[in-house]
Structures are given as structure tokens and as C-alpha cells.
Amino acid sequence: MNRAFAVVFALVLVIGIPAPLFAKGETVKIIIKGADLTTPIEITDPKILRDFNVWAGPGLRVNGKEQTEGFIIDWSQGVAAERPNGLLHYEVSVYAKLQEARLVYVVFYDYNPSSEQGYIYLPGKGDKWSQLNMGTIYHGHGFEGNWFRATSTWQNVARRLIARARR
């Protein structure tokens, strides 16, 4: 009887756990769209993508230790207290290879060309994309629904690709 219960319980867990939580796949594509872009930018180069692992940062653990760095957010600076108005606004969609490549996470990237500072918004409860994101990764710590400074690595890549796409 206990063995049958264990088998049924294991099946319920496997069926009930969303794929992103069950198996973390590698980031295979990032799409940037919005602001002044006439067509979306697709980043598929593995050399670029390896710097932007979506399964990194607070709320995620490796060997029992919570991560403090990763993805495209400069977590060390915390929530951005103030963010200028009138910035260029982009939607950044991240695709990962699970059983197949699929959309797993979406954030917003706002960029200030004059200061060359970028900001990342993690959609919070009730925002567009919040259900997808929180079904994939929940960073916790009150991070969802806030703006953060982008990493210099992300800004260098995004700035270069956006400038090229605008030409």
C-alpha cells in the first residue's frame, strides 16, 4: 500500500511541477523589441548567451547557496530608488531549451542614451508577464515589481545591438 501511494505521489509531483522548475534548460535565445526598433533583435549566439543565464540571481540556489549575481541585473545595487523618465523602452524575452525552446521569462529594459545607464524591470503581481515569470523563477525578497540597474555586460551587448539595428 505504501509503495503504491509513493508511486502515485511521485507521478502527481512530476505532472504538477512546471517544466522550468523541474529541469533548468540553457538560455538559447533572447529577443529585444520595442522603442525605436523596426524589427526585433534576436540574440542566438551561444558565446553571448552564456553571459545571460536566466536561472541566476537571488531566489535561486546552487548547492544550497542562494545566488547573488547573474542574468542581466546588477543585484548588488539593489532596487533602483529613482529612474529618469523618458527612457527608451524595450521588452526582453528569454527563451530556454527545455524539451524544446520556449519562452520562459520576460523583463523590460529602459535605456538612457545620455547617461548610458540601463534599467531592468521585473514584472510584479498583476503586471503583464508576471505569471509566466513567477512560474519560471520567483526571486522573492520583494524584487518582483521593481526596477534595477542593468549589468555593464548586458548594457554593452544591448547597446551595440540596438545601435546596429537602428542604422
Cell 542604422 sits on residue: 167
Q: What is the pLDDT of residue 9?
A: 39
**Per DSSP, which regions of the chain are E strands?**
27-34, 41-43, 61-62, 65-66, 88-97, 101-112, 117-122, 146-149
Q: Cα separation of 150 and 61, whole Å?
A: 21
Residue by residue, pLDDT tens for the chain (167 residues) are 555 443 333 333 333 434 344 346 789 999 999 978 989 999 999 999 998 988 887 777 777 876 778 889 999 999 998 888 889 999 999 999 878 888 999 999 999 888 889 999 999 999 999 888 888 777 776 788 999 999 999 999 999 999 888 86
Q: Cα separation of 7 and 75, whole Å?
A: 41
- Dihedral sign, CA of 150, 33, 28, 145? positive
Q: Which residues contact 131 (CB under 8 A, 6 or more apart)?
A: none
Q: For 25-166, CATH number?
A: 2.60.40
Enter the pTM of the model: 0.79
Name the 3-class secondary structure at 152: helix
Q: What is the pLDDT of residue 133?
A: 81
